[in-house]
Structure formats: C-alpha cells, structure tokens
Amino acid sequence: MESMTHQTFEQLQALTGCDDHLQFVVKVIEKVHISESVRVGYEQQIQRIQRRRTDPNFYLAVIGEFSSGKSTFINALLRDDLLKTSALIATSAATKLRYGDNINVEVIFQGSKAGTLKTKNNAKQITIPWLAGVNGIDIRQFIHIVTSKDEVAKDVVDLTITHPAPFLANGIVIIDTPGTNAINPQHAEITRQVVENEADAALIIIPATVPLSQTLVGFLATFLRPYLHRCIFVVTRMDQIRPQEQSEVLTNLRSRLVKQLAIKSPMLYACGAQVLMDMLTDGETVREPLKVWADRFPKLESIIIHRLRQERSHSIAESLLRLLTQLFEQLNTHLQDQWHHYKMRQAAIEQQTIPDLPSFAAQEHTICHQMLQDAVSATLLKVVQCVEQHKQKTISQIRDTIFTAENGNSLKKIVQSEAEQILNDHQHSLLLDLQRDLEQISQTAIEVGRHFDRQFSEAYHRLQTLGGSVSTDHHGGGGVQLSMSDVFSSIQLINTQMDNTDNNITGGMGTAGAVIGNILLPGVGIFLGGFLGVMAAGLVISLDVRKQKLWEQLRPNLDTYFDTAKAQAQQEIKAYSENVTQALHQRIDTYVAHYQVVVDEMLNDQKKELQRLFELQESIQTDLLEIDQRRKSLSANQQKLAENTF
C-alpha cells in the first residue's frame, strides 16, 4: 500500500492537533521528576502515537463470541481455510493477519516455551521440539496448533500471520480477538485493549441463529461502549435462516442495537460466509438458493473497504485522540501524585523546620531555668518542713529527759552528757535528710539537662548532639554543713565561769560539769549552786523548779540552733542551685556556639527547599490546568468525530 499522503497528514493534524499535544507532553516529562521506568513508559506511548500516525495500515478488529462464525468470516475474507473453526480452545492473544507475498507466521511464546518462532515462505517442515508427537508439520497445521491446541495456545503472547489475500492488500490488518464469552475473563480484557489501543474500527460478528445474545450485549456495553460508533455489525449464518424470516431478523437486530446499546444508526450487514467457503471447496455441493450469499460477499467486502477508506482519516484520528487522551490521563494522574508528594514534603519540612538557634536557646534558657527554680522552691519548702520536724522531735526528747529526771544527780547527768547526745543524734539524722533533699536538686538538674538534650535533638535531629548531662559533683558546697559548735561554742568559757561562781556545783563535775555550754544552759551554774547550797543548809528546794529553770534557759538556744540550721540549709540550697543553673545555661550557650553556623546553613537549605517545592507545585498546577484544557479539547474532537461533524 502507498504511504500516507501529505493531505492525510494535514487532515490528521487538523483533527487531532497531534504535534502540539506531543510537544507539550515531551516538555512536561522533561521538567518533572519521574523515575526512569515511568519516563520510558511515556516515551513508548509517544512513539506508539507517532508510529500510528505514520502507519499506512488500517487496523480492523474482528470480535465475536465462540461459535459465532468469526473464524469462518475471516477465512472468507482471506479466501482461505486458514483459521481453524469451531475450536473449543483459542489463544488468549490477539492474532494479527497482514498482507504478505507468502503465508508466514511469527509467534512469541512465554513460560517454558519462551522465545520467538518464525517461519519462511509457506514452510512445509516445521518442528516443535517441546510438543510431543508433532514433527514435520506444514505452516497451516502450525497455525491451527498455536491458535487452538490448549497446551500451546496458553503460552502465546503475540501471533502475526502474513497472507497474500487481496483484502489485506488494501492496507488492512485484521486483528482476530479471543472469544468474548470465554470462561477466562482475560480474553474480554485483551479484546478491550485491542480496540482501545490498536484497532481503528471493529467488525462485530453476530450469528443470525443467536441474534445479539445477552453475553455479547453485556460485553459491548461494558468494554466497547466508547467505540460502538466505529463498529460494523456483521450478521453471519444468514444462510441458516429461512428467506422469509431474514428481513425480520435484521430489523429486529437493528432495533435491539439502537435500544440496548444506544447506537443511533447501526452499520448492519448480512452475510453467509460459510457458503463462500463451501463454494471455494466444492461449489457443486452448494444448493442454488444459497449461492446468493457467496455472490453477495464480495459486495460486502467492498462496502467494508469503502467505508474504511471513506472514514480513514477520521478513524485514525480517533485512534490518535484516544491514545493522546490516555497519555494525558496518565500524565495527569502522575502530576497529581507528584503534586501531592511535593505538598506532603513541604508540610513535613514546615512541621519539622528547625527553629532559629538563638530563639530556641532563649526559650530553653527560660524553660530550664523555671524547671530548676520550681525544684528549688519545692526543696526549700521541704527543708523548712524537715528542720521543723527535727526541731520538734529534739526539743520534745530533751524536754522529756529533763523533766523526767528523778533527782539532782540525774539532772546533772543530763546537763553533762545526755542533752548533748540527743542533740548530736538528731543533728546527724537532720543532715542526712537535708542531704537527701539537696540531692533532689541534683537529680532535677540532671533531668533538666536531659530535657534540653531531647529538645535540641528533636529540633536539630540532623546535628550531632553534644550528649552528656549536667555535672553536679563540683558545683555547690558539697552538702549542708551543720555544726553543734554554734550551740556549744563557749563550753570551756562557761565551765570556768561556773567554777568561779559556785565551786560546790563544779567540784563534783570538773570541766565536764557544763558540757552543753553557755548557749545551751545559760546561768545553769548559778542556779545549781544555789540549789546545792540550800541542800547543804538542810533547806529543801524543789527539783521541779530547777528543771523548769534549766528548760527555760535551754529552749531559746535550741530554737536559735534550728533556726540557724534552717537558714544555713536554705542558703546552701540557693547557692547550689545558682551554680547548677549557671552550669546549665553554659551548656545551652555551648550548643549555640558549637552549632550556630551549621544551623544557619540548615535553615537556609530548608528555605531554599521550601521555595523549590513551592515552585514545583506551581509549575505542576499550571501543567494540570493545561492538561485539563487539552483533555477537554480532545474530548470535544472525539465527540465531533463520533458525530461526523468535522
């Protein structure tokens, strides 16, 4: 067939705007980030459209159910009993029949038979090594095997047959599709793909004996509805219908096509292809009344060829528009996905954008400082409570000891050692409790340091954090130091004073007679001296009065002692917390000094990335709007072609 004319190219370009659409697609896929496999897929589609535009052939799909007479009709077009009829099994791949000087076959197999098998010039001796019992067959037998023998047909991926039929010489490529009522649903899908991606028109074979079965109606309505206006309906086996009923069959069938499939003006033709094949084999056996179908068949061929030629540009243009539409649909989907991908990345970056480091540091300074201050305030409160508790216990125990003394000697013993021991024991316990409270600040400081580490790590997760924790063992005074010297500081001086005042009191006690000291028992020597003097003179002085005097002298000093302990503990805690706070602030400042340059670079990179993503989204949005306009244009052109209004 002659190559496509310049006029045909101009017609196609006018109908489709193909060049402009393809240039737009190429431009989009060049600037959009897509994987290599996706890019190759688009390029293959573009190449397929280009090939279809320059391909001089017209692709005619022949569609029908099993036992519809489809193979017989194709054989009639070829004038050759080439395809096996009434086969229960057929290849799931479409078979292409194109013009050639000789009958040849090219088959691509999958599975265990994977590979390509080609024949040359009506080969008579074809060997199939993987098919037992088949050896030295001719090309026609080979065609029957690959199209109807189950164990072979199931592995056929592609089958092309060349044939010297005059019908094919008109530049027509017949695509024999799998039966639409096959058990295997893949057959219907393959037929749909053939019509959608390859065929320019389709012949729908309807047997007159089963005019428009519900399964065929369902297939046409489900899979081929967008292409029904390009379908030619051929009613086969009309020779099996009584002459007086033939017109009624066609009328009824036409009415059902209009009603059930909404086809305005169905192209419907009748034929008896089997009669023609019988005439070719042995014309003498064909009854005279049936020969009319053999005579009519060439006219039907002419009608099909004329209609195909007449609408050649429109049909190929529709195929191109369909392919372009598919391309734009895929491109639209890809761009939509890409836009959402960029949007999600942008949202993720905005959500995880690292903060400005000085602002982050200032915020963390405030937060960490407040956390420590809260801990210090809580500790100070606990210290006050702790000292008060020990004070009450100590005072209560010393008081009870004094007031339970049975005599003067017992009272002297209390003054000499017991009161001091009681205070010493409680001091030790108090120091342990205070140290425990102080350690709570240490623990809080460690937790605050870890808090800052976590916050920094989350905010700047791409940086290497400094790690570690706030050190507390070299900050502060090493614990609260409480000394009983504040209570017993003038013990020796008081002993001397008491000895000089009343030798009778100190004579039996020596320097240890005033162990607690002046602060603990101020004036106790004078009080005891008077008491013993009265005793020596035979006077009876109340022991309870002496106890009360001793207690009144001691109680203020105990209050002072514990107030001093409380003040010292509070001072120590405040000093310690100041050191810890300073260490933590230094830690934060160290991070800032260490990472400021890197963070600035990261912020700048994020800013650039956000801007890039924003620009990509804007670009995609522009392309999507353009695609939408082009799809509308393609749809309008397809509608015009369907209505033949160009």
**Token pair listed for 407:** 């005599």
Q: Which of 20-34, 78-92, 150-164, 586-600 has the highest mean pLDDT?
A: 150-164
**Token pair listed for 621:** 């949005």
- Mean pLDDT across the chain: 79
Q: Which of 181-190, 256-265, 492-501 has the highest mean pLDDT?
A: 256-265
- Residues 91-125 have pLDDT tens digits of 678 899 999 999 999 999 888 888 888 887 767 77
Q: How far apart are CA 109 and CA 158, in angstroms?
A: 7
| Tokens 């209050």 belong to residue | 559
Is the separation of the CB atoms in 308 and 315 below 8 Å? yes
Banded pLDDT at 547 (limits 50, 70, 90): confident
**Secondary structure (3-state) at 465:** coil
Banded pLDDT at 311 (limits 50, 70, 90): low
- The pLDDT score that the predictor gives to residue 414 is 84
CATH value of 6-308 in 3.50.50.60, 3.10.20.310, 3.40.50.300, 3.90.1150.10: 3.40.50.300
- Percentage of the residues of the chain whose pLDDT score is greater than 90: 25
Banded pLDDT at 53 (limits 50, 70, 90): confident
**Which residues, other chains included, contact 213 with Cβ-Cβ below 8 Å and sequence gap of 6+?**
65, 181
More confident: 501 or 214: 214
- Percentage of the residues of the chain whose pLDDT score is greater than 70: 82
Banded pLDDT at 522 (limits 50, 70, 90): very low
Query: In this structure, which amino acid lies at residue 18?
Result: C
How far CA 320 is from CA of 175, 314, 368, in Å, comes to: 18, 10, 69
115 phi/psi in degrees, rounded to 5: 145, 180
Q: How far apart are CA 610 and CA 618, in angstroms?
A: 12
Question: SS3 for 157-221, per residue?
Answer: EEEEEEECCCCHHHCEEEEECCCCCCCCHHHHHHHHHHHHHCCCEEEEEEECCCCCCHHHHHHHH
- The pLDDT score that the predictor gives to residue 88 is 55
Residue ranges covered by each domain of the chain = 6-308, 356-593
Is the separation of the CB atoms in 558 and 391 below 8 Å? yes
Q: How far apart are CA 99 and CA 52, in angstroms?
A: 17
- The pLDDT score that the predictor gives to residue 312 is 66
- The pLDDT score that the predictor gives to residue 201 is 87
State mean pLDDT over 33-47. 82
Banded pLDDT at 90 (limits 50, 70, 90): low
Q: How far apart are CA 98 and CA 106, in angstroms?
A: 12
Query: In this structure, which amino acid lies at residue 165?
Result: A
Is the separation of the CB atoms in 143 and 149 below 8 Å? no
Is the separation of the CB atoms in 96 and 160 below 8 Å? yes
- The pLDDT score that the predictor gives to residue 115 is 87
**Edge to edge, what strands does the sheet with 231-236 contain?**
115-118, 104-109, 156-163, 95-99, 172-176, 58-63, 201-207, 231-236, 267-270
Paired strand residues for 99 = 163
State mean pLDDT over 368-378. 91
In the chain the first and final C-alpha atoms are separated, in Å, by 26
β-pairing, 115-118 vs 58-63, is unpaired
Q: How far apart are CA 523 and CA 160, in angstroms?
A: 130
Question: In which element (H, E) is residue 73 found?
Answer: helix 70-78
Query: In this structure, which amino acid lies at residue 544?
Result: D
Q: How far apart are CA 576 and CA 578, in angstroms?
A: 5
- The pLDDT score that the predictor gives to residue 299 is 94
State mean pLDDT over 282-289. 82
How far CA 495 is from CA of 4, 461, 501, 511, 528, in Å, comes to: 134, 70, 10, 6, 13
Q: Which of 13-17, 303-307, 386-390 is least confident? A: 13-17
How far CA 288 is from CA of 73, 79, 219, 239, 284, in Å, comes to: 21, 20, 37, 12, 9
State mean pLDDT over 250-271. 93
State mean pLDDT over 346-369. 84
More confident: 488 or 24: 24
Q: Which of 98-112, 297-311, 319-333, 577-591 has the highest mean pLDDT?
A: 98-112
Q: Which of 27-36, 462-471, 628-637 is least confident? A: 462-471
State mean pLDDT over 250-275. 93
**Chain centroid, CA 59 distance in Å:** 43
Q: How far apart are CA 335 and CA 28, in angstroms?
A: 9
β-pairing, 115-118 vs 172-176, is unpaired
- The pLDDT score that the predictor gives to residue 475 is 39
Residue 339: how many CA atoms within 13 Å on its side-chain side?
15
**Token pair listed for 505:** 């009191």
Q: How far apart are CA 577 and CA 585, in angstroms?
A: 12
